Structure 1
Amino acid sequence: MTEARPDLCVLIPVFKDQSGLIETLEVLGRESHPFDIVVVDDGSPQPVTCAESYGPHAVTLMRLDRNRGIEHALNAGLEAILARGYPHIARLDCGDLPLPGRFARQEDFLKANPRVGMVGTWARCVDDDGNYMFTLRFPVDHDEMLRKQRYVPALLHPTIMIRAEALRDIGLYSDRYKTAEDYDLFVRMGRNWRLANIPEVLTQYTISATGTTAARRKRNLVARFRVQRDNFSARDPHAWAGMARTLLFMAIPFGWLNAVKKKAWK
């Protein structure tokens, strides 16, 4: 007898990060909550490898023939997940870890709140060595989240779980805002569906001093500004303030911001 497919699929894009991928998969393998996993190798020069299952969770490894950017890798994975009919999709990046109970809490939340299209969590932020830095606490009320998104994303990408029905409604990731594809998706989701965050630390998120978070910060801010510009409302003072804030942050060194966060967000 064929086992029923779980309601959840976890989507993990990867590019040249074999060790981070295995770290995340091994933690997922210890989770008892039912889910499958789709890993998308975004054209790594040395293709990544992984087992066909971790713990009770089946893994599908997709390989793209060339590196085109995370939004294309995510969309390739989403198309496969949607075609298989999973009602819920969770996101993780390599090296980021779900803390115990995350997936069960998010699935229960989506089932209890049918108008919520996307739900995130708070996050414990660590450095490359796993040392605690600070905690990211996001608003939980939909209207407050929409206000925040005039300034910055109101969810953290690797913490989210998406309702497949909502994703079919608004469409997949856009390639118009490279490095801010998540911000654009959150903004579009908030127009048609309610957004939410669970006010619990349920994800561990790595802030790398040498990775894309620091190296691509300026590019990310430019892309964020474009999302704000393309969704601008002249009658909304938060829209003006949000664009001004993004321009200001382009002039502030990344290290200074992290130092402030370490002191203010403990």
Structure 2
Amino acid sequence: MNEIVLLIPHFNNPLGLIASLMSIGSTEKIDVIIVDDGSTKHGIDEIATRNAFTANGKLVFIYLDINKGIEHALNKGLEYISKNIEYKFVARLDCGDLCTGKRFEIQEIFLKENPEIKLVGSNVVAVNTKGVFLYNINMPINDKEIKNKMYFNSMLIHPTIMFSSEILATIGHYPINHKYAEDYAFFFAIIKKYKVANINQYLLQIEINENGISLSGRRQQVKSRINIIKGNFYFGYYPIYGLLRNYILLYTPYKLILFLKKKLNNEISN
């Protein structure tokens, strides 16, 4: 058993799962927990999936009887991980997203060399579903800036993170009452108790599916973020600006948001 365990939720995307596993370097030492969230059309081909995984570790498959949502799949995986105390670090990855370089080794070294940091993410390269480059996403690096700007939006990109498993004893699992924003709520719980960081490297390529969440889903996501901000509110610039920003996003067409995001991130990258 390795010290690192990777948690991947799956729903009707076996090809994306295989691509993600193939992107993990063969020298990485990592176990992988795959939780199928009651796939209804395209289930997991375990043989093909095992063949795609060349790293030094084992694959564990967990199946939910019905589709309950990603937060339930993630928590099922965390339940398994919590019972295996040998795991010191928990990483995340989503089907279709691709690791670059020695991502997990880099993050493990960072956490071991900076024991006061309990969770670390990274910068990412964003592509569309055809693999065409969209933009780079550069995240704030230090704990203070991340915590301040978390009131605007998540300053930790979910599939890039690795965290110390010890925090699960105090943080618990993903909240299930913040639909489409379970990661945002999870991160807020973490930053209230621990220091976090981002590594200034592009350790992941994420896939942006412009049609991945319905319009009603996007609105629910923003509403959930607003409720999370309110739940962590204090009277100051960052929470006030964050609330106003998210109320504006609530009524802004998503196509316009995507256009502005591409333009802003490309300008920053250049």
TM-score normalized with structure 2 length: 0.92
Whole-Å separation in 2 of the counterparts to 1:137 and 1:194:
19
Aligned-residue offset at 1:50? 2.4
Overall identity of the aligned pairs, in %? 33
The 3-state SS of whatever aligns with 1:169 is: helix
**Which stretches of structure 1, 4 residues or longer, exceed 3 Å deviation after superposition?**
none
Number of equivalenced pairs? 260
The 3-state SS of whatever aligns with 2:121 is: strand
Residue pair 1:207, 1:213 contacting (<8 A) in 2 also: no
Aligned-residue offset at 1:214? 6.5
- Counterpart selection for 1:15 from 4, 11, 16: 11
Aligned-residue offset at 1:49? 2.5
1:103-147 CA-to-partner distances (Å, cap 9, x unmatched) read 111000111111212100000000010011011111111111111
State the match for 2:93 in structure 1.
92
Aligned-residue offset at 1:240? 1.3
Residue pair 1:92, 1:159 contacting (<8 A) in 2 also: yes
Aligned-residue offset at 1:215? 6.6
Aligned-residue offset at 1:262? 2.0
State the match for 2:185 in structure 1.
184
State the match for 1:34 in structure 2.
29
Q: Give ranges in structure 1 of 5+ residues lacking alignment.
A: none
Residue pair 1:128, 1:206 contacting (<8 A) in 2 also: yes
CA RMSD of aligned residues (A): 1.5
Residue pair 2:2, 2:57 contacting (<8 A) in 1 also: no
Counterpart AA for 1:248: I
Aligned-residue offset at 1:204? 0.4
Greater shift in the superposed pair: 15-24 or 196-205 = 15-24
The 3-state SS of whatever aligns with 1:84 is: coil
- The answer on 1:49 being equivalent to 2:65 is no
- CA gap 1:206/1:40 in 2 versus in 1, 3 angstroms: same
Q: Give ranges in structure 2 of 5+ residues lacking alignment.
A: none
Whole-Å separation in 2 of the counterparts to 1:210 and 1:31:
33
Whole-Å separation in 2 of the counterparts to 1:213 and 1:84:
37
Whole-Å separation in 2 of the counterparts to 1:64 and 1:146:
34
Whole-Å separation in 1 of the counterparts to 2:27 and 2:256:
40
Greater shift in the superposed pair: 78-87 or 140-149 = 78-87
- CA gap 1:23/1:213 in 2 versus in 1, 3 angstroms: farther
State the match for 1:103 in structure 2.
104
Residue pair 2:37, 2:66 contacting (<8 A) in 1 also: yes
1:182-222 CA-to-partner distances (Å, cap 9, x unmatched) read 00111110011101000111100010022138772211101
- The answer on 1:83 being equivalent to 2:83 is yes
State the match for 1:142 in structure 2.
143
